[in-house]
Amino acid sequence: QVQLQQWGAGLLEPSETLSLTCGVSGASFSGYYWAWIRQPPGQGLEWIGDVNHNGTTNYNPSLKSRVTISVDTSKSQFSLQLTSVTAADTALYYCARPPLGRRSYMDVWGKGTTVTVSS
Amino acid sequence: QSALTQPASVSGSPGQSITISCTGTSSDVGTYNYVSWYQQYPGKAPKFIIYDVNRRPSGVSNRFSGSKSGNTASLTISGLQAEDEADYYCSSYTRNSTVVFGGGTKLTVL
């Protein structure tokens, strides 16, 4: 059964770079897209972007200038970097995976990593 | 991209049916039959309960059903049960090859 385990720094100061990684176990890494989604406290879900095993990416236009999602197939991991963070980037960040051949919905989710931006 | 529009809250009594709407545009909901619905309990990751407008994954109760008309998709929950009390989110594929979520709806079972 596929599992996503995510990790990264949970407390950042404004202007720093958010960096999270998601490790995949129990399933093939190739052929899938891998996504990042966030949820600010008490608010709704926001799709950040995704990447496939070849490194092809798609980003939310509102975050595109600050986001990089990359993949390391040798380690079955994918990562999120978000530059110049502000308090508005404080959120629970999820890594997730759509089914094979799909991108439009996520059937596997990580447990989430809380990221707080505060001076 | 703008979030899909959902009512902030809906409520119903056990046994009743409720419907949650999800309004988008011709760039997302109106063009693609790739609308999904998620159920989220407090402190938990979302769980998908409907995909491709009206398809249910295995293990999801047939009390959950989805539909779409024009730019608006809907989730209907029939025979409401206490365990259905949760937050519900819709999502859609978009013309920009991205995914957009709705703002979420809190369902209260009275």
pLDDT tens for each residue of A80-103: 999 999 999 999 999 999 999 889
Enumerate residues 51 to 110 of chain B having a beta carbon within 8 A of any beta carbon in chain A. Answer: 51-52, 57, 89, 91-93, 96-104
What's the pLDDT at B92?
98
Q: Which residue of B has its CA nearest to A58?
A: B98
Percent of chain B with pLDDT over 90: 98
pLDDT tier at A43 (50, 70, 90 boundaries)? very high
User: Residue B67 pLDDT more than 90?
Assistant: yes
Residue of A45, A59, A61 with shortest CB distance to B46:
A45
Dihedral angle, C-alpha B20, B26, B32, B35, nearest 10 °: -20
What's the pLDDT at A30?
85
Q: What distance in Å separates the CA atoms of residue B79 and residue B16, rounded to the nearest whole number?
A: 5
Contacts of residue A85, Cβ cutoff 8 Å, sequence gap at least 6? A12, A14, A15, A16, A17, A18, A117
What's the pLDDT at A27?
85
What's the pLDDT at A13?
97
Pairwise CB contact (< 8 Å): A105 & B51: yes
- Mean pLDDT, chain A, as a whole number? 95
Pairwise CB contact (< 8 Å): A44 & B102: yes
Mean pLDDT confidence for B23-46: 97
| B9 interfaces chain A, CB cutoff of 8 Å | no
Mean pLDDT confidence for A65-90: 96
What's the pLDDT at A82?
98
User: Residue A14 pLDDT more than 90?
Assistant: yes
What's the pLDDT at B64?
98
User: Residue B1 pLDDT more than 90?
Assistant: no
Mean pLDDT confidence for A59-76: 95
Pairwise CB contact (< 8 Å): A104 & B48: no
Contacts of residue B80, Cβ cutoff 8 Å, sequence gap at least 6? B12, B13, B14, B15, B16, B17, B18, B109
- Mean pLDDT, chain B, as a whole number? 97
User: Residue A29 pLDDT more than 90?
Assistant: no
